[in-house]
Amino acid sequence: MRQHQPRGIFLGILLIAIIAVSCQKPLHEETERYILVAANINLSYWQEAQAGFLDAAHGFGVKADFRGPTYYSPEEELKVFKEAVAQHPAGILVSPGRPELFSAAINEAVGEGIPVITMDTDAPDSKRILFVGTDNRQAGMESGRQIASLMNGKGRLVVITIPGQLNLDERLRGAQEVFAKYPQLKIAHTLDDQGDPRTANDLVSELFAKKETVDGILCLEASGGPGAAETLHRLGLDGKVPVVAMDKNPETLDFIQQKVVSATIAQKSYTMAFYGLRFLDDLHHNAVHEFKDWRTAPASPLPARVDTGTIVINADNLAAFRAAMASHQNPL
């Protein structure tokens, strides 16, 4: 009988261990909720971000909400952000349309112990924990290189953007650094499309109606590309005026296929939101043990900035890119 005791002891210890583990409190609770706040949430760019956010939440078994106005309005977005703070979620990921509008509200949220991370556009003067998104200066430099090459380094350029939005201002700064090498390339007009392709269409149409010389169009935000391309297509100027767009919304990709848009600089909004939620979860659970608690730490235990990079999409790689995107499953 003694020869069977070691096995019996082992099974007993194993049973105790299983019972102990089963009684442990799970890391994630059913009540955990993370919120992503943005503006223009019906844009495909933000739909892709929502997919990344929901996929990350599903992996953790937590709840996730995606909120914001269906048009570009930093003021309305701020109201949505404040409503989210009042619900005291486990964390908030936000793309502040106007950093100066959001700083005080972000500081208040962090002061209440709610981790706040910015994505896509930053609020660097706030107490946000980190920024995850595109290095916008580098994205602007890539945009500048693409359009300068297509214009052979000379001519009158039209820039479509939203002045005052930090991420877009950074892109313009990066593009201007490139243009400094091309003295014969001049920015003739800077158009504010307010994040609406119809406005971009109208503004570009006005330039052609006035017989303005347009040798190239650079779009620093997602709506400008389809808006400008629609004008060129309507006027029969397909392929005659180079257009470099921003982001990979379906309309822009269609215009690349039709050879109206020459190239687009695609960001990774899915990746931004996916890792944004994971970073929020790390903060909520104090998963990084450099300090006891991120709320009282002398410095954030997480990186200050995470660059998710960009990719240039043109006629050469459009088919391969679309095939890769088609294989992506919808968020669970």
In this structure, the answer to whether residues 159 and 249 fall within a common structural domain is: yes
3-state secondary structure of 227: helix
- Asked if residue 275 belongs to a domain, the reply is yes
In this structure, the answer to whether residues 100 and 47 fall within a common structural domain is: yes
Q: Compute the distance between CA of residue 282 and CA of residue 290 in angstroms, rounded to an integer.
A: 12
> Which tokens hold the place of 213?
């010389």
State pLDDT tens for residues 275-327: 999 999 999 999 998 888 889 888 889 999 999 999 999 999 999 988 877 75
In this structure, the answer to whether residues 124 and 149 fall within a common structural domain is: no
State pLDDT tens for residues 236-261: 999 999 999 999 989 999 999 999 99
In this structure, the answer to whether residues 153 and 225 fall within a common structural domain is: yes
- Asked if residue 249 belongs to a domain, the reply is yes
- Asked if residue 324 belongs to a domain, the reply is no
In this structure, the answer to whether residues 179 and 102 fall within a common structural domain is: no
Q: Kindly report the CATH number assigned to the domain that includes residue 243.
A: 3.40.50.2300
In this structure, the answer to whether residues 250 and 169 fall within a common structural domain is: yes
DSSP string across 21-42: HHHSPPSS-TT-EEEEE-SSTT
State pLDDT tens for residues 107-151: 999 999 999 999 999 999 999 999 999 999 999 999 999 999 999
In this structure, the answer to whether residues 164 and 115 fall within a common structural domain is: no
* Mean pLDDT in residue range 76-81: 98
Its pTM stands at 0.79
In this structure, the answer to whether residues 220 and 73 fall within a common structural domain is: no
In this structure, the answer to whether residues 257 and 199 fall within a common structural domain is: yes
- Asked if residue 248 belongs to a domain, the reply is yes
How many Å from the N-terminal Cα to the C-terminal Cα in the chain? 54
* Mean pLDDT in residue range 230-239: 96
- Asked if residue 326 belongs to a domain, the reply is no
Which residue among 266, 298, 325 closes a domain?
Answer: 266
Cα-Cα-Cα-Cα dihedral of 150, 154, 160, 161, to 10°?
100
- Asked if residue 210 belongs to a domain, the reply is yes
**106 compared with 11, residue with greater pLDDT:** 106
In this structure, the answer to whether residues 122 and 141 fall within a common structural domain is: no
- Asked if residue 28 belongs to a domain, the reply is no
Domains: count for the chain: 2
Q: Percent of the chain scored above 90 by pLDDT? A: 78
In this structure, the answer to whether residues 142 and 251 fall within a common structural domain is: yes
* Residue showing tokens 């210890």: 13
Q: What is the mean pLDDT of the chain?
A: 90
- So what's the pLDDT on residue 331? 44
Q: Compute the distance between CA of residue 197 and CA of residue 332 in angstroms, rounded to an integer.
A: 30
The answer to whether 279 and 57 are in contact (CB under 8 A) is: no
In this structure, the answer to whether residues 120 and 179 fall within a common structural domain is: no
> Which tokens hold the place of 56?
């990350």
- Asked if residue 163 belongs to a domain, the reply is yes
pLDDT at 76 over 90: yes
pLDDT at 266 over 60: yes
Q: Compute the distance between CA of residue 162 and CA of residue 11 in angstroms, rounded to an integer.
A: 67
Name the residue range of residue 82's domain.
Answer: 33-134+268-308
Work out the pLDDT band at 7, boundaries 50, 70, 90: low
